[in-house]
Amino acid sequence: MCGITGYIGTDPTGRIVHEGLQNLEYRGYDSAGIALAGGGSLSVHKTGGEVGDLPVPSREDGTRGIGHTRWSTHGEPTRENAHPHTDCTGDVAVVHNGIIENYAALADELRADHVFHSDTDTEVVPHLIETHLADGVSLLTAVQRTTERLTGSYALAITAAGHDGIVVARSDSPLLLGHGDTGTFVASDATAFIEHTNRVTYLRNGDIAHLTETEWTVYNDGARVSRDIEALDWSADAAGKSGYDHYMLKEIHEQPRALRQAISGRISDLGTDVTLDMELSTETLQNVAELQIVACGTSYHAGLYAKELLETHADLPVTVHVASEYELRGGRSPKDTLVVAITQSGETADTLAALRSAAQKGAPTLALTNTLGSTVTREADDALFIRAGPEIGVAATKTFVSQVATAALLTMHIGRARNAISTSDAAALRDAIRDLPGAVQQVLDQAPEIASIAREYADSDAFFYVGRRAGRPVALESALKLKEISYDHAEGFSAGELKHGPLALVTDNTPVVAVLTEYAAPERTANNVKEVQSRGADVIGLASDAGTARHADVTITLPACGPLEPVVANVALQLFAYHIANEKGRPIDKPRNLAKSVTVE
């Protein structure tokens, strides 16, 4: 949530910071601002609108700058609440991601001597820095003293007139440095500066860094520390639109490549061996009595699919928990419970809190994520990467299919370790994984037909998605995609639950989307299709089998893909959601009230 960017160096600072904000706008687009410092002065430019409404500052405005694009938590999206926030003198500028939990107490303390102009929690930070600078200390020391007073999560970037460089600080909110030929960058996401450099340093909790035009120095708990420089394995082109109208559409079409990346080098061509480069021992996997998955949103739906795979093929009881509700309860032994955190960004606050809770009680932990260097990879006992590449669209697409494909690989790995998966089941799952990129491409080749179906139903009152077994998480995920980007009412249900209440909502203008694929109990779901058709609703069916497809009013034909065929259906329904939203003229890459990475609880 929210995006931070900054730069200090010899290139035109205002332009670079502005471009960084444009690259980060998917992280928040309620309001935006830039602060530039140099020559003993500070200039601040803010807007209550989007980054495009913010003028590009001229080169003369400063040699170092920070910027912010906001997803509102405290205060409405107005110019006054936009970052950067300044102190009473107008010499200190601060941008912030996260939430300062004790801001109210700090503000009450400061109000006797300081004037506040916003409704945000952030504004206490520049005023605290102001009080310390009045003692004659450096900006670095003032920030160090200030962070000692803060409770909550934060990524901070600060610059001040008359003080050297930029100071940044991190606690439970992502922040990284970029090392270019002409200067140093700071951002909440490497997307901000990837066209300038792929060399990055991930800051850790408690780190405070001082950036100047010639060097960067990191401190933790007052002591200077060393942090590595790593090379990202993706380019500026990977983070662009590549000629597509929207990031989401581009990323839908990138799924065959993302899946090939997820699979590459991990599965044998002939046998059923899986190589996952994991450190969790075979003994640990053999002794696990239960696997618990914690996740949010789309990752939660991937977890539900993983449960289906693991319980079917690895003979392992699995529970899936909404991370914000998770607590390791009951008489089970934590050491016999493997907790798997699924998170695209590796920074999802609720998922990290659940992971930490499990780890504190002694449970072994595994992260399934897309992001190297993220917090979850450092805090979990082990990490398994989905290798989807950068995903800019707020509505997740390629990360969902890559999470499920990686979960299928994990299922084979655990099944083999526990001697629970038969050779025939392992071979069938291997073939499905290997065939998945091609099957997805066949669906993408049907994009014009799917777009036509979407236009036909774009004016419906609501949409209901149904499925069984692995079809259920796909129904939930596909409904989520439609509501996220089209703002239409959409709900996903277990197909058998329709008659226990939801059927009351069905009319002749509420199409029902039915996952009739293999591995989704299609014949049983067909009975539920007849129930809604008898109430006048059209049924849009997704199936590979012509016999099953006959039950639907409109059919999207899928290639067969065994236990991963419902994933293929999901790709078709991503296109369905996209084209409905596009038909309505929605801002697909900037859905209202949403942001890509949810780093607050």
Distance CA 549, CA 542 (A): 7
Largest CA distance in the chain: 80
Query: CB 249: neighbour CB atoms within 10 A?
Result: 21
DSSP character string of 426-491:
HHHHHHHHHHHHHHHHHHHTTHHHHHHHHHHHTT-S-EEEEESTTHHHHHHHHHHHHHHHH---EE
Residue among 438, 546, 471 at smallest CA distance from 301: 471
Question: What are φ and ψ of residue 164, in 5° steps?
Answer: -80, 130
Tokens, residue 194: 């990837």
Residue among 337, 341, 554, 564 at smallest CA distance from 473: 564
Q: Which residues contact 572 (CB under 8 A, 6 or more apart)?
A: 443, 446, 450, 542, 556, 558
Which residue is associated with the tokens 């299919």?
A: 401
Angle between helices 565-583 and 423-444 (to 10 degrees): 20
Catalytic annotation present for 2: yes
Which one of 250, 307, 481, 596 is the catalytic residue? 596
Tokens, residue 260: 């090939």
Alpha-carbon dihedral sign for residues 320, 321, 323, 329: negative
Which one of 2, 296, 398, 590 is the catalytic residue? 2
Residue among 75, 181, 55, 73 at smallest CA distance from 118: 75
Distance CA 372, CA 365 (A): 17
Please say whether the beta carbons of 252 and 445 come within 8 A: no
Please say whether the beta carbons of 355 and 365 come within 8 A: yes
Residue among 582, 238, 262, 578 at smallest CA distance from 395: 578
Tokens, residue 360: 């504190």
Distance CA 376, CA 385 (A): 11
What is the three-class DSSP state of 4?
strand
Distance CA 352, CA 355 (A): 5
Q: Which amino acid is at 286?
A: Q
Question: What are φ and ψ of residue 488, in 5° steps?
Answer: -80, 150
Which phi-psi region, left, alpha or beta, contains residue 361 (left: φ > 0; alpha: ψ -120 to 50)?
alpha
Tokens, residue 286: 């053999």
Residue among 389, 369, 406, 385 at smallest CA distance from 257: 389
What is the three-class DSSP state of 541?
strand
Tokens, residue 138: 């450096």
Please say whether the beta carbons of 46 and 90 come within 8 A: no
Strand order across the beta sheet in which 554-557 lies:
490-494, 463-467, 512-515, 539-543, 554-557
Catalytic annotation present for 596: yes
What is the three-class DSSP state of 410?
helix
Q: Which amino acid is at 351?
A: T
Q: Which residues are known to be catalytic?
A: 2, 596
